[in-house]
């Protein structure tokens, strides 16, 4: 009963692997290390390779007696997806379909899939419920929506049971301080602010202050990476218990603007962050806040960590690992 975790050397994947191992689960990671770090994989075997390599996936499934898959491997930067759509359609769509075909050929019928709030676009009403009309504003969100469609069709035709988790903005680090976020180059708001605080960057560039929000900067729902890890475990256990395929939002249910995040971090570290307003970043929606009622009710999941916890754990990780995993 081994769980195959694709992208398990990445940020959210490695925290989920850690949580699975802590629960006594047997885990094998498949990651091509294009972004991930082998040092981030704790307590599980890491196979370095690509999800599109059917032969390798088959070999792993047989060798480890894999019975379910959690699929994180993807490219996931909104701005990059607008500049390089081909990269996103290839990695997130074509390669995921190859992975799905390989696991089906090996009679695996349970998968938890990393989807995203980016499938919603810029909805008029928040909090966002799972059943609203989807109008992704960027290529990245469209690739994830495409895979949700593929999963729905594969379930109907081949009985592949899936839970797609549409996460909002993952942030924070493992409370033990052993693993955390290490993207290179970093593009996410909270680690960038912390890099400025640590003197690794001159200033924060705020992408636009003319959004339809209270202070003009984008509002996002930041969810702790360990809360996300727990949601994956509950989703996996639900599928193993015979639950039918479905989709859940995973967020904190609260929104913070870019300016509010900066202010909270300034309060936490006790100094001002140099910042400058620039043009909007392509593809950014105004406001994304999750309704988390469905996952609370059906899986009993609820976020344990607050924004303060996110900032505290992220700060501890970045402060103690200024070079990330490379030290």
Ligand X SMILES: O=c1ccn([C@@H]2O[C@H](COP(=O)(O)OP(=O)(O)O[C@H]3O[C@H](CO)[C@@H](O)[C@H](O)[C@H]3O)[C@@H](O)[C@H]2O)c(=O)[nH]1
Ligand Y SMILES: NC(=O)c1ccc[n+]([C@@H]2O[C@H](COP(=O)([O-])OP(=O)(O)OC[C@H]3O[C@@H](n4cnc5c(N)ncnc54)[C@H](O)[C@@H]3O)[C@@H](O)[C@H]2O)c1
Long-range residue pairs from 260-267, CB within 8 A, at least 24 positions apart, any chain: 260/215, 261/189, 261/190, 261/193, 261/222, 261/307, 262/193, 262/204, 262/206, 264/307, 264/308, 264/311, 265/190, 265/193, 265/194, 265/197, 265/311, 265/315
231 binds, among ligand X, ligand Y, none (CB under 5 to 8 A by kind): none
Catalytic status, residue 154: no
120, 140, 222, 305: the catalytic one is 140
- Nearest approach, Cβ of 165 to ligand Y (angstroms)? 8
When asked if residue 169 is in the footprint of ligand X (CB under 6 A), the reply is yes
What sign does the dihedral 151-236-12-51 (CA atoms) show?
negative
Binding ligand X (rule: CB under 6 A), the pick from 90, 98, 188, 294 is: 188
- Nearest approach, Cβ of 13 to ligand Y (angstroms)? 5
* x-or-dash string of contact with ligand Y, 30-59, rule CB under 6 A: xxxxxxx-------------xx--------
Q: Interacting stretch for ligand Y, rule CB under 6 A, among 71-79, 123-131, 192-200, 274-282? A: 71-79
Question: Measured between alpha carbons, how far is 153 from 35 in angstroms, rounded to an integer?
Answer: 30
* x-or-dash string of contact with ligand X, 270-309, rule CB under 6 A: -----------x--x---x---------------------
When asked if residue 192 is in the footprint of ligand X (CB under 6 A), the reply is yes
Q: Where are the beta strands (DSSP E) in the chain?
A: 2-6, 26-31, 45-48, 66-71, 110-116, 161-167, 169-171, 204-207, 219-220, 222-224, 246-250, 256-257, 275-278
Chain positions contacting ligand Y, by CB under 6 A: 6-7, 9-13, 30-36, 50-51, 72-74, 76, 91, 95, 114, 116, 167, 169-170, 183
Residues that are catalytic? 140
């Amino acid at each position: 009963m081994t769980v195959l975790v694709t992208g398990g050397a990445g940020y959210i994947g490695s925290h989920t692997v850690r949580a699975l191992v802590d629960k006594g689960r047997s885990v094998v990671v498949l990651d091509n290390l294009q972004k991930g770090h082998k040092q981030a994989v704790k307590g599980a075997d890491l196979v370095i390779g690509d999800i599109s390599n059917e032969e390798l996936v088959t070999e792993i499934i047989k060798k480890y007696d894999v019975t379910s898959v959690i699929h994180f491997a993807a490219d996931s930067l909104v701005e990059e997806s607008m500049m390089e759509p081909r990269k996103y359609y290839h990695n997130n769509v074509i390669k995921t379909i190859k992975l799905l075909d390989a696991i089906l050929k090996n009679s695996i019928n349970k998968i938890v899939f990393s989807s995203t709030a980016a499938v919603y676009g810029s909805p008029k009403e928040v909090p966002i419920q799972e059943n609203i009309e989807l109008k992704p504003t960027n290529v990245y969100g469209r690739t994830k929506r495409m895979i949700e469609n593929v999963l729905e069709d594969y379930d109907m035709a081949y009985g592949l049971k899936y839970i797609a988790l549409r996460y909002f903005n993952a942030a924070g680090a493992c409370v033990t301080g052993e693993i955390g976020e290490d993207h290179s180059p970093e593009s996410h708001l909270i680690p960038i602010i912390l890099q400025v605080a640590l003197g690794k960057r001159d200033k924060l560039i705020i992408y636009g202050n003319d959004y339809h929000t209270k202070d003009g900067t984008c509002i996002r729902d930041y969810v702790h990476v360990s809360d996300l890890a727990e949601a994956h475990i509950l989703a996996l256990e639900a599928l193993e218990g015979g639950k039918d395929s479905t989709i859940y939002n995973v967020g904190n249910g609260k929104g913070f603007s870019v300016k509010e995040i900066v202010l909270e971090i300034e309060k936490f570290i006790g100094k001002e962050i140099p910042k400058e307003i620039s043009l909007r970043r392509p593809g950014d929606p105004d406001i994304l806040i999750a309704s988390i009622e469905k996952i609370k009710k059906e899986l009993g999941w609820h976020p344990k960590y607050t924004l303060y916890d996110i900032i505290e754990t992220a700060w501890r990780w970045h402060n103690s690992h200024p070079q990330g995993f490379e030290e």
